[in-house]
Amino acid sequence: MTLKTKGLVFTALLFLTLGVLFAPGRSSALETVPNVTPEMLSPDFWTAKLPDPESLIMGREAIEAFNRDILHTLPDLVYDLTSYPAFLDRNQLTELITRRPFPEEDRYSNGIKVDQAYYESL
């Protein structure tokens, strides 16, 4: 997979994720995550805490090693998107989404505990 294709796949997944997170009717992090302030939603809040915000935190090799480490350490949570094809048909995407079981611990949406029907409607 070329770098351009990887970038397009990443961008598509990012927009898909953002669309789901900020879709109408969804709660914001301010409403669902305890102790989150509006300032915390800005990157400036976090970079201002760094001793030298303009300095390079990790170089290319360090980032690649970090990513490999995460893929190895959390294989059921973090996936190597470069190993997937550039395009997925509906059946392939559905299989990938439903392959991972729904969480067993309690989850909430808009402060209401969700049940199995909630996950099945996604």
* pLDDT of res. 118: 84
* pLDDT of res. 35: 82
Mean pLDDT in runs of 10 for the chain (122 residues)? 54 56 54 80 91 90 94 88 90 85 82 84 76
| Secondary structure (3-state) at 108 | strand
* pLDDT of res. 103: 78
pLDDT tens digit string along 10-42? Answer: 555 555 555 555 554 555 656 667 788 889 889
* Residues 106 and 113: beta-carbon distance below 8 Å: yes
- The DSSP bridge partners found for residue 109 are 112
Beta-carbon contacts of 22 under 8 Å, excluding residues fewer than 6 positions away, are 28
Q: Please state, in angstroms and rounded to a whole number, the distance separating the CA atoms of residues 68 and 95.
A: 25
* pLDDT of res. 65: 95
CA dihedral over 45, 48, 51, 53, signed as positive or negative:
positive
Q: Please state, in angstroms and rounded to a whole number, the distance separating the CA atoms of residues 60 and 7.
A: 16
**Taking the domains of the chain in order of start, what are their residue ranges?**
3-50+57-120
Q: Please state, in angstroms and rounded to a whole number, the distance separating the CA atoms of residues 25 and 33.
A: 16
Q: Please state, in angstroms and rounded to a whole number, the distance separating the CA atoms of residues 13 and 8.
A: 9
- The DSSP bridge partners found for residue 112 are 109
pTM score: 0.46
| Secondary structure (3-state) at 37 | coil
Tokens of 46: 């976090």
